[in-house]
């Protein structure tokens, strides 16, 4: 499918909207002010002034209104992992990412998201980019539309379960590998018989180590799997997965904060230690460990703070 993009003035956009008025369709998506459907072309106007033409007639229709934008070469900071095929950013890819691994409070969340080639432009216009470049509020606004537009799987591992498997000797790497493999399986099952051209995992372990972690699983996803660090910069599927994983984490933190009666801080800083000490003093050690990653050093630090407050 061909895609063309124009950036038009307000006057041009009015002319274009009038021209395609008889072909107008309803399209409920963020930032869309007008949409039309021809026999071979879909036309979408966004609040930014950008007009997206999709379909076999995209180039023909775009030429009626101006010169298509030259896409700037995307700058990607240094990454490690597999060498990706040429034109990878424009291929149909199933990507996965996780968050919450470095947070004392809150779960580990993993998301997998399939973005077919013909939806890449649309997902980009929804504002999808590396979640580290977006605020929590923006991600929460984007996430509902991503869930509606893309086949995805979101897994949430609460800390009670996390502590149980961690006590059995499971490393975080093993836990993450199992969650990634399961999320990918879930999406592949949903899109069957469609097959993504590639699967891209945001790399947290070398390929051999990753597969060693999940070697006892019945179904292991191996076909066309690539690994790369900073994968959210390499394909929009991983960026979308990163956003969905982050929002799932934020939602879980909100629920946990309501349950505790305190706003729980993210991360593993001294502020986290202080809040943990308050919870220990008010609800006890057993309750504290049920909502935290028990093996983190924050547990011991919180107990020291709590004991000082008790004068021990």
**Which alpha helices (DSSP H) does 26-90 contain, by range?**
58-63
- Rounded to 5 degrees, what are φ and ψ at 259? -65, -45
In the prediction, which pLDDT does 74 show?
A: 46
Structure confidence at residue 154 (pLDDT): 98
Phi-psi region of 163 (alpha: psi -120 to 50; beta: other; left: phi over 0): alpha
Is residue 55 within a helix (H) or strand (E), and if so which, with residue range? Answer: none
Per-block average pLDDT, block size 10, for the chain (312 residues)?
A: 78 91 84 89 85 87 76 54 91 97 96 95 78 81 91 97 96 97 98 96 95 96 95 94 96 97 94 96 94 96 90 68
Cα 225 to the center of its chain, rounded Å: 18
Which pLDDT score, from 0 to 100, does residue 73 have?
A: 39
Give the phi and the psi of residue 44 in degrees, each rounded to 5: -130, 125
Q: Please, which contacts does 141-148 make with residues 24 or more away whose CB atoms are closer than 8 Å?
A: 141/30, 142/30, 142/243, 143/243, 143/244, 143/247, 145/29, 145/30, 146/113, 146/240, 146/243, 146/244, 147/244
Nearest to 97 by CA among 193, 277, 296, 237: 237
Q: Whole-model pTM?
A: 0.76
Q: Angle at the Cα of 245 (from 120 to 234), degrees rounded to 5? A: 40
């Amino acid at each position: 499918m061909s895609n063309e993009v124009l950036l038009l003035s307000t006057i041009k956009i009015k002319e274009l909207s009038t021209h395609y008025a008889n072909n107008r369709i309803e399209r409920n998506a963020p930032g869309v002010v007008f949409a039309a459907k021809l026999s071979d072309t879909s036309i979408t106007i966004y609040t930014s002034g950008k007009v997206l033409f999709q379909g076999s007639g995209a180039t023909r229709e775009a030429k009626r209104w101006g010169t298509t934008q030259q896409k700037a070469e995307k700058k990607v900071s240094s990454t490690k992992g597999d060498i990706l095929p040429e034109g990878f950013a424009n291929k149909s890819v199933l990507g996965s990412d996780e968050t919450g691994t470095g947070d004392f409070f809150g779960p580990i969340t993993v998301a997998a998201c399939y973005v077919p080639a013909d939806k890449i432009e649309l997902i980009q216009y929804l504002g999808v980019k590396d979640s580290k470049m977006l605020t929590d509020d923006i991600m929460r606004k984007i996430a509902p539309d991503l869930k509606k537009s893309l086949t995805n799987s979101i897994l949430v591992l609460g800390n009670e379960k996390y502590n149980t498997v961690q006590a059995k000797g499971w490393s975080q790497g093993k836990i993450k590998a199992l969650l990634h493999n399961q999320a990918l399986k879930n999406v592949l099952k949903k899109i069957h018989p469609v097959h993504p051209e590639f699967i891209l995992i945001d790399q947290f372990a070398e390929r051999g180590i990753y597969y060693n972690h999940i070697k006892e699983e019945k179904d292991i996803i191996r076909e066309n799997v690539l690994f790369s660090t900073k994968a959210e910069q390499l394909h929009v599927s991983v960026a979308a997965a990163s956003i969905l994983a982050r929002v799932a984490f934020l939602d879980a933190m909100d629920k946990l904060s309501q349950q505790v009666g305190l706003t729980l801080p993210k991360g593993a800083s001294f502020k986290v230690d202080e809040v943990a000490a308050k919870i220990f003093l008010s609800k006890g050690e057993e309750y504290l460990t049920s909502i935290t990653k028990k093996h983190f050093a924050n547990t011991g630090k919180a107990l020291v703070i709590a004991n000082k407050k008790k004068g021990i």
